[in-house]
Structure formats: C-alpha cells, structure tokens
Chain A
Amino acid sequence: MEERMTGLITDEEIRAAEGCMDVAERCGAQQVRVVLSKSTLDACSMLNGGLDKVSRSSDRSVMLYLFADGKYGTFSTNMVEAGELEKFVRQAVGTVKMLAEDRCRRLPEPERTEKGALTGRELGLYDPAYEHLDSEERHAAAQRECIFHKDDGIAGHGSDILSGRHQGVRIVSEELEYSDSVDDSLTMDSNGFKGRHTETSFAVCSEITVEAPDGRKYSGYWWDSSPFSSGLVREECSKTALERALSGIGPKRHRSGRFHMVVDRTVSSRLVSPLFSALNSASIQQETSFLKDSLGKKIFAEGLTIADMARSHGKPGARLFDSEGVKTCDMDIVRNGVVDTYFTNTYMSLKMGIAPTVEGVSRPVLLQYDGGHSGSLDAGEMMKLCGSGIYVTGFNGGNCNPATGNFSYGIEGFAFRNGKITHPVREMVITGDMISLWRSLVYAGSDARACTRWQIPTLCFENVDFSG
C-alpha cells in the first residue's frame, strides 16, 4: 500500500516545490510558476500467451516557468533533493536573465484561474482500486485476455474465427499489454494559484499479426482504456484485433475517383486535429494557420458542431484548468459550421491584442449530425445511407500543410457498394484541402468511443478525391 502511494505527491514534495518559488523570487524573478508532476506506470506484456515483459516506471519532476525582468524561460529537473533543487533554481534564474525582453510574457490574471482544484480528485478521475493491484494480478489480467495460450496455441475465440472462412490463415503473433498508471500534478504560481489534478488509467491493447495462405502478413490492433478499473472493457480485445487483421486480407486496388468517404470512429480524430492546430492563436500569429480571419464566420458545413466539454465529471480528458492554471469551461469551438473559438493563452492574448481563452482543447466532442436521419448513426448505417464509397479504417502516412490546409493522406479500408463492404483496398490516398473537406460533411455519427479523450465519432464526407 505504501509503495503504491509513491505515485502521488507528498507534503514534503509540495514544500520543496514551494521552496522553488521562494528561491526564484529571492534571486530576482518577479513571477514564477512551478509544476510538480509525479507518476507511476506498471505494465505487463504477453507474447503468444507467455509473459514477455514486466516494467515499472516511476517519475517525478519539477518544471519551472520563470518571468524575470520581462524575460521568460522554462526549466525542468528530476533531481528533486533539496540541495539540487536550489542549485537548479539559481542557475535557471541566471539563464533567463540572458534572454531578450518580451513584455507579453506574464502569468494569467488571478481572476481567470481555477479556484476549486484543491485535492486533484474533484473531477472524479481517480480510482482508489488502483492502490490494491499487485504484479500477480496484472499478470493474471494480461493472461486472461490472451487468445493465444502458450501451451495450446490458439484458444477460445481465436480458433472459432479461424475455423470459418479463414481456413489456411495462420496467426503469427499476439502481443497483448495490460497497464495501469496514476498521474498526479500540482501547479502553483506566485499570483497565488494552486491547482492539482490526479487521475488513474487502466488500459489493455492487443496487436495480432496473421499470415494469409499467399504468405502476406496483416496486422490488427485494438485497445481500451478507462480512468476506472471497473470501466475497462478488457474482454474481446484480442478477438477484435484478430478480426481486424483478418478483415484486411486480400486487398485490391480500387479505381481513382471522387467517392463518399466514411471514416471510422477509431481514426476520425486524424481529420479533426488540423482544425485545432489551425484554431490556435500561436499558429495564426505565426501565419501558419489556414483558419486565420475565420472567427465568427461560417467556414464549415452546417452539420459540424464541436464543443469542448472540459469539465465532464469522470470522463477522459476532463480538466478543471489548463497548463497556465486558467479555469476551463464547457464551450463551443465550432457551432453549425461557424468558428466560435480561437485557443489563446495569456502570451498570445497580449501579443495579438485579443481576449484570452484557454491554451488548448481538453475534451472535444463532435456532435451527431444525422442530416434528417433519425436514430443512432454508426459506420454501418452511414454506408447504407451512402450506397457506395470507401470506408476508411486507417491512415498510413501523409500530412496537412498547416498554412494552406492542403492535405494528402494514405488510407486503408474497404470499398462498399449497396451499403455493404465488398473488399479491402490498398495503396490509396485522399487529397484535398481541410476547409473543402469539412464543408462536404454529410453525417457525424453517435458512436464515439467512451475510452477516448477526443469524442470524435464516425464521419461521412461526400465527393472526396481518392487516387490509387
């Protein structure tokens, strides 16, 4: 029990962090932020049903943000003994004074900071069950989920699946990992802000590689995670990974053209990420945003609404304050295609002369858009509604130009016709620009995975440019 608690910040460590602020101010820093972080992660990995690796990671660090004579620097160390810390702070203040002045660097105004994050557990993201796990239980948890038993080969679900239409397919390997962790961080600043965030996480992931009768290999991956041990969907992780590996067998080239694109919920966040980058004021100020001058304008399809639900109790990604200590709030990012928010931290606010918000997204939720279709909406439904197109289940390489929004991504997935999957496709890319793509949004599903911080469901776009 005592050993388990090493993942949590102690009173002595808090006093040491407070001491950092005192030393920094005595050395001439006018403002200081200190972030004390501590974490422990245990993992147990299985290979083909046998134990492959056990690991234990315990980290602690002090991060120092110094504002001295209008100058700014960031510093960190994991040598947190008292003597070492004082030496570190003194060196840091000496270094920051060598930099150029930038009067826009300062701490956020106290009235903008969170006042209610005192214990770190206000959001209900800490599971006390974590304290009672031991290495034998982790090993048992990992072993239980394997479909490959080291003495008997494939067992349970694996053999069921392979005995069907996948005769002749061989499972090359099953790699499964169970892990759990606790992360505890305390942020303090010289304006009096103090905020703590503590969360546990439990995760299981599996990757299965199979070999088809023609010798080609295919991999499938699946995972689940939760802040709570009881919330982790452990069962069938490897079965799902195996099904995903098998589903990719026998890919065919597909003709180039413009098609409907259904993007699976497991990868759809890849298309949302460039939007958040472009909505960051730092990108706009540096002229590397394709969404500059878009605030308050209708840029995207009517069906696109993304809200940041930062304060969702017990949900992954939720947080009461951002990295500056600024209080988060539930807010719209895009509402019915209209850009509602730029992410603007204190520095960018002063530099650009615009109102500050928060420094980034916490738990974005892309709301369902059914285009008149009623009821729940997942990939299967969307394929039926579209008739034919490409169902994208993975991205393989590619990029989005942040300045122009032009993108080109390699994809993997399936062709579908009459609402049904016909065959896996290979060596295909999609190209376009982000604004046009999001204007062509037809449906947004209701099937975002509960385990993800970004709640992005299956999406459907029309008239997407595929080549292969």
Chain B
Amino acid sequence: MCGMNTRNFLDRFRVTVPKLEQLVRTALARGGDYSDLYFEYTVYQDLLLKDGEVASGGFHIDYGTGIRVLKGERTGYAYSESTEMPDMMAAAKAAAQIACSDSAASGPTYCSTKADQKSVMRSVNDFYPAAIDWHDRAVSDFIPVLKKLESMIFAKEKRTAKVIAKLSWSESEILMFNSFGEIACDFRPIGSMVVSAVFSENGQSENKTSSRSFRMGAEMITEAMLQEMAEEVVSGIDARFRAIRPKGGKMPVVMGAGASGILLHEAMGHAFEADFNRKGQSVFSGMMGRKICADNINIVDDGTLHGNRGACNYDDEGVPGQKTYMVKDGVLESYLHDRISARWYGVPPTGNGRRESFRFNPIPRMRATYMESGSASKDELIASVSKGIFVDEFSNGQVKIGEGDFTFYVKSGFLIENGRLTAPVKDINIIGNGPRALADIAGVGNDLLIDNGTWTCGKDQSVAVSCGIPTVLVRELVVGGQ
C-alpha cells in the first residue's frame, strides 16, 4: 500500500477494492497471466502571453481507466473513459481477448515486486512533494508572472521584437491495482514555463527559447527562475546574429554540459530500452555485460531526482521509482525494463514501465537520463581540440534503433580552433553512430548538469523526461556544414 490516503483515490474513481478485484478476475477469465488497472484523473491548465497580454488560456480534464492483460509477452489493452462498472467490465473483457490466441505462453511467471525488495527501493518515495498545490491558486495569480518575464526580456535586450510565454501545469491522481492485489497511488504535479523571443537586427530575425519544467507545485515559480530564463533567452543573441555555417566534415565535437544530454537520451538511451533488445532490434541486443566504452563512463536512468520532470514515485505499472545504471565503468550493466521484459530476461523490473495516459499500455521508457561526471574541466577538453566544434544547444535529434545512427540539429555552438572557441556556428547537423560515439568518448568533464527544460520523449507516446551530461569530448563525428 502506498503512504498516501488510498481511500481518497478510491473515492475519486468511485471504486472499491472488491470492485477492483472483480475487474481483474474478469480480465484474467480467459487465461491471462497477469492484469493491471490504471486509473487517472488529470487536470491540465495553461496560460499564454502573446503581444504583451495574457489573452488566452484554459483547462482540460482527462479521466478514465486502462485495463491490461498479459499472456506471456503478449498484451491485451482497452480503456474506458467512464468508471461505471459496466463500462469497465466491457473494457476488461476486450483486453482479456489476448489470452484467446491459440499458442500458449511459456517462460517464467509474472512476480509481485514485493518478492524483489532487495533489488527494488520499496516505495516510501516522495520525490515530488508539492508545497503549494496548483489548484489552490487562482489563474489570475499567474498572469503577472508571465508579464514580468516578458518585461525582463525587453529590458535586457533592445532588439527584442516579440515574446511568447506559456505557463502550464497539471495535477494527476493515479491509482494502480494489479492481479497480485497490490495497490499503488500517486499524486503527480508538474509545472512548465516556456518563453520564446524573436530578435530583429537590420531586417534579420533570430529566435531563442528557454524552458523550465519540474514535478513541483506552484512554489517552482520564483524570481530567480524568471531571471534565469530571461537571461538564457537573451544571452548569446549577438553570436546568433553573427553565427555561420562552418565547413562540414569529420571532426572532434565537444558537447556542452546540460542540454547536450538529449544526445545521450536519443542515441544511446533508446537502444538500452529492453523492448527493442528483447525483440533483437537494438544495436545493443545481446551485449549485456560487455565493455562498450571507456572505464570512466557511467550512464544512469534515474527516477529518484527530487522535483525532476522525469521523477517517478512509482512507474505506471506500480513499480517503485529507482535509479538504474545502464553503463557502469564502461560495461553495459542493465537494460531499462517494464514487467514484460523483466520477466523475459528473468530480472526485476527497473521502474521504467511508463505511459502517456490511461489510453496507452506501459512500455519501457526513460526518466532522467544522464552521464555521471568525470574528472576533466571544460576548459581542458576544449583546449585539447585543435579543430572542431563546441555545441551548446542541440535540438531535433533522431536515431535509428537498429543501426544506431543518429542525427542532431545544432542550434548554437562555436568553432574550436587551436584549443579556443572562435566563430559562433548555427543551423548545422551532427551525425554519428551511438555505439561508435560512445566508444569514441575521449574525455568526460567534471561538471554534470541536469537540464530542467520541457523535454518530452515521443516513443509512440509522449512522456515527460529530462536529461543531463557533463562536458564531453567525442573524438570524431560528422558535422554537416556548408
């Protein structure tokens, strides 16, 4: 049982434990091995500042329950937007159909996470206590916040032509129940602020964006955060106007600390997700326990960072949140598992079974993915490069899971010439191969930075994540330039 008041959650969804048990029995009636229920009530609100006024906004309510049946690795899934018993029973029967297939499942059975307490942090987790509930504040309280952020940006940079700022927040009440009789409940707040500005100079336009997102209550909005975001938006705008597209080719690349972690997420993290590996599709399939990069590299997927966008008290299968080393001292140590892959590999689930909402079945997903700090300083890493690129802002990355090939768009960075940052660069791509790039890491900085932007992973479903990385030097990547 979770530490929160389970009764409140049961009341929210107008269910009782006997009703939950009846639903699970119905879901398993045709021979399923395991079943779980996922109830969700989410209220999302947003406010948009545009052209100097907060003149649009609204709220959106989402309510329902998803019912899953597993038979071996096979999944039956259905959901209902009503929690009236007849509607949920119909969904349970639809999900149960998966067990009607002719072939019988083989392999180990599904296990309660209670049996794995040695390897799983039992959840007395509270990684996102909300000091100020969002719904306790009036929408009008936040309007001055957006206007203040806008005025800070205009005050800092006279070339500012337009500012768009959006504040959004949601609170989700989640109730999970499974065929082992386990109940988990979770209250999940999340707040996000995004500001984008357009700057004009001599008929030329450039835009920059800054964002912050936390699993926190309204206390996340502080004067310091607004100052930080305003500064981030205007900083480097001179360089952006002067930036060039460099000559392309193969060269060393120094990735700046923080947001470059998206490369880690896309190019390596997805290939560590156990569903791709179970199906043999990942470039890392069959490589468990093998050395894949230098000794000083540790790559982590972590659901335990307090207030972090990727934090999970429980994942969406009711498995307690935890921290998972995917690569430890250069060796592939663990994939990221949901219950299906954990059963298949014969290991405990790692708390990575996540979903966008009750409309989706959970699949292995990342949380906060980062590389731990090494020993080099940022300056040392840059100084070691005679000709290359320093990247401080990536976007629009994409990876091919099987091949491991990735491409990332560089929004801003600098040329490195003779160990020094020189001309600013923009609008180029960096191309490489995940395993090769990992093996090619020549230096890891001592400056791990978790980026608290509004990162959302889009593997079939949208899920809030975060990422981070220290400054990292990769010996050789392809830079697509002029």
Contacts and interface: CB of A to CB of B under 8 A. Distances in A.
A287 interface: yes
B427 A397 contact: no
Scoring B249, B361, B429 by chain A CB atoms within 10 A of each residue's CB, the highest score goes to B429
Interface in B298-338: none
Interface string B415-432: 000000000001111011
Contact of A397 (B139, B205, B249, B408): B408
B250 to A, nearest CB: 9
Contacts of B245: 406, 408, 431
B61 A79 contact: yes
A398 interface: yes
Contacts of A74: 56, 58
Contact of B400 (A53, A91, A219, A408): A219
A53 B61 contact: no
A430 B53 CA distance: 40
Contacts of A91: 59
A57 B361 CA distance: 11
A73 B54 CA distance: 11
Interface stretch (B20-28, B276-284, B344-352): B276-284
Contact of B280 (A209, A404, A412): A209
Nearest to A135: B97
Contacts of A52: 73-75
Given A286-B198, A408-B409, A431 B205 contact: no
Given A75-B58, A256-B249, A410 B480 contact: yes
Given A72-B55, A75-B59, A53 B98 contact: yes
B269 to A, nearest CB: 15
B400 to A, nearest CB: 7
B79 interface: yes
Contact of B402 (A58, A99, A135, A219): A219
Contacts of A139: 101
Given A286-B198, A410-B480, A56 B407 contact: no
Scoring A50, A51, A256, A409 by chain B CB atoms within 10 A of each residue's CB, the highest score goes to A51
B57 A73 contact: yes
A322 B53 CA distance: 27
A187 to B, nearest CB: 17
Nearest to B481: A467
A465 B482 contact: yes
Interface stretch (A100-108, A369-377, A413-421): A100-108
A428 B480 CA distance: 7
Contact of B57 (A95, A218, A404, A406): A95
B478 interface: yes
Interface string B376-414: 000000000000000000011110111101111101000
B173 interface: no
Given A52-B75, A467-B249, A95 B58 contact: yes
**Interface size, B (range):** 35 or more
Contacts of A211: 280
Interface string A399-436: 10111101111101000000000000011111100000
B118 interface: no
Interface string A243-285: 0000000000000100000000000000000000000000000
B480 A468 contact: yes
Contacts of B164: 286
Given A56-B94, A59-B359, A287 B407 contact: no
Contacts of A99: 47, 54-57, 139, 143
Interface in A84-99: 88, 91-92, 95-96, 98-99
A219 B403 contact: yes
A149 to B, nearest CB: 12
B77 interface: yes
Interface in A223-261: 256
Given A409-B429, A427-B431, A403 B206 contact: yes
Nearest to B53: A100
Nearest to A79: B63
Interface in B66-82: 73-81
A159 interface: no
Given A410-B407, A467-B481, A173 B249 contact: no
B103 to A, nearest CB: 6
B293 interface: no
Contacts of B280: 172-173, 209, 211
B429 A397 contact: yes
B34 to A, nearest CB: 14
Contacts of B427: 399, 401, 404, 406-408, 431
Contacts of B432: 427
Contacts of A53: 74-77, 98, 361
Contact of A58 (B77, B81, B139, B411): B81
B168 to A, nearest CB: 13
A30 B61 CA distance: 23
B200 A287 contact: yes
A266 to B, nearest CB: 16
A84 B91 CA distance: 22
B220 to A, nearest CB: 21
A399 B431 contact: no
B105 to A, nearest CB: 10
Contact of B403 (A47, A72, A217): A217
Interface in B423-447: 426-429, 431-433
B400 A396 contact: yes
Nearest to B59: A75
A55 B207 contact: no
A256 B479 CA distance: 11
Contacts of A78: 61-64, 81
Nearest to B245: A431
B400 A467 contact: no
A176 B78 CA distance: 19
B181 interface: no
Interface in B253-269: none
A91 B59 CA distance: 9
A452 interface: no
B281 A54 contact: no
Contacts of A71: 55
A76 interface: yes
A119 interface: no
Contact of B398 (A218, A219, A402, A410): A410
Given A55-B77, A429-B429, A429-B478, 20 more contacts: A52-B74, A53-B361, A75-B59, A76-B61, A77-B60, A77-B61, A92-B59, A100-B53, A102-B53, A105-B56, A173-B281, A396-B407, A401-B207, A404-B206, A404-B427, A409-B407, A427-B405, A429-B407, A429-B428, A429-B480
Interface of A: 47, 50-60, 71-79, 88, 91-92, 95-96, 98-102, 105, 135, 139, 150, 172-173, 175, 209, 211, 216-219, 256, 286-288, 396-399, 401-404, 406-410, 412, 426-431, 465, 467-468
10 contacts: A53-B361, A57-B79, A75-B59, A172-B281, A404-B205, A409-B429, A412-B405, A426-B405, A431-B481, A467-B482
In the complex, the 4 A-B pairs of residues with the closest C-beta atoms, listed nearest first: A410-B407, A429-B480, A397-B407, A467-B248
